[in-house]
A and B are shown apart, each in its own frame.
Chain A
């Protein structure tokens, strides 16, 4: 069911979206750019969760909804499931994807040989840009969960590329 779109198209669209929001619309305000990108992800996640839960019964508890995100939702979006799910049973869930497809082609510039201050700041910028690309998937997860009736806050952690962990904190 549903129509399909090419993955390269989506990859390029997301790249341009992040770079436009960061460099043109909110040029020196990374927080605003981040919130705008996350809001776009929220809308997308909201609508996608509507579509992918069409023929399913309501979820009995938070864990079931999170498991839906990890398995069916992630599979519909990225053709694979979440590799690892951890929880502290008190409203915090960590979803780990060992090879997050939107990050597989991203590589930071190699470390400069002389380490001048401008090159170091370029490297810091690259790190910021890398984290900018994560606001969109965080927004998707937050939108999907809020459509299922679970308000939450989602953040991402890329300490080891290309694995990526999403931390979901459910608001009590």
Chain B
């Protein structure tokens, strides 16, 4: 009998390119599902068009949050089925990992969701996402020229974000 080693079945993840950042892409959604920012650094495979991609991503997160809250074994009270929870209530999931990528998620009390997709060997990115949230507050929320709820098009935020993402291991 032949034994198939695990490494031969799953393809190894792509090595981060020299020019690109360590992250593949990033999404920022507000509480209404509007995609405020989509930044792509290293994404060879595009399956859907941008609108469908954003809707799928938002829907996925909504369902995942709901699922993790309902399946929480440590919560004493019965979860209220079907009622959307306020951000931060119940348990919150923060990442999932596949053989080719890792998706990290953070939701702020104001309903802003940050999603960062990186290579699967990345560690816990909660501090990274918190730092990115700080960048958001500094350069977007405090930008006098930015209207909340619209697409983020602030040079300073984009530059700072690119620089920071390049430095995460």
Contacts and interface: CB of A to CB of B under 8 A. Distances in A.
A15 B155 contact: no
Interface residues of B, number: 12
A110 B143 contact: no
Interface residues of A, number: 17
A19 B153 contact: no
Nearest to B154: A107
B155 A105 contact: no
Contacts of B145: 106-109, 126, 129-130
Nearest to A125: B145
B144 A133 contact: yes
Interface in B16-73: none
Interface string B137-169: 011001111000000011111100000000000
29 contacts: A8-B142, A11-B142, A14-B144, A15-B142, A18-B144, A19-B144, A105-B138, A105-B139, A105-B142, A105-B143, A105-B156, A106-B143, A106-B145, A107-B139, A107-B143, A107-B145, A107-B154, A107-B155, A107-B156, A107-B157, A109-B145, A109-B153, A109-B154, A110-B155, A110-B158, A126-B145, A129-B144, A130-B145, A133-B144
Nearest to B142: A105
Interface of B: 138-139, 142-145, 153-158
Query: Which 3 A-B pairs give the minimum distances between C-beta atoms?
Result: A15-B144, A109-B153, A107-B156
Secondary structure at the A interface, as helix, strand, loop or mixed, is helix
B130 to A, nearest CB: 18
Contacts of A12: 142
B28 to A, nearest CB: 16
Interface of A: 8, 11-12, 14-15, 18-19, 105-110, 126, 129-130, 133
A11 B145 CA distance: 12
A33 B156 CA distance: 27
B138 to A, nearest CB: 6
A47 B139 CA distance: 31
B154 to A, nearest CB: 4
Contacts of A130: 145
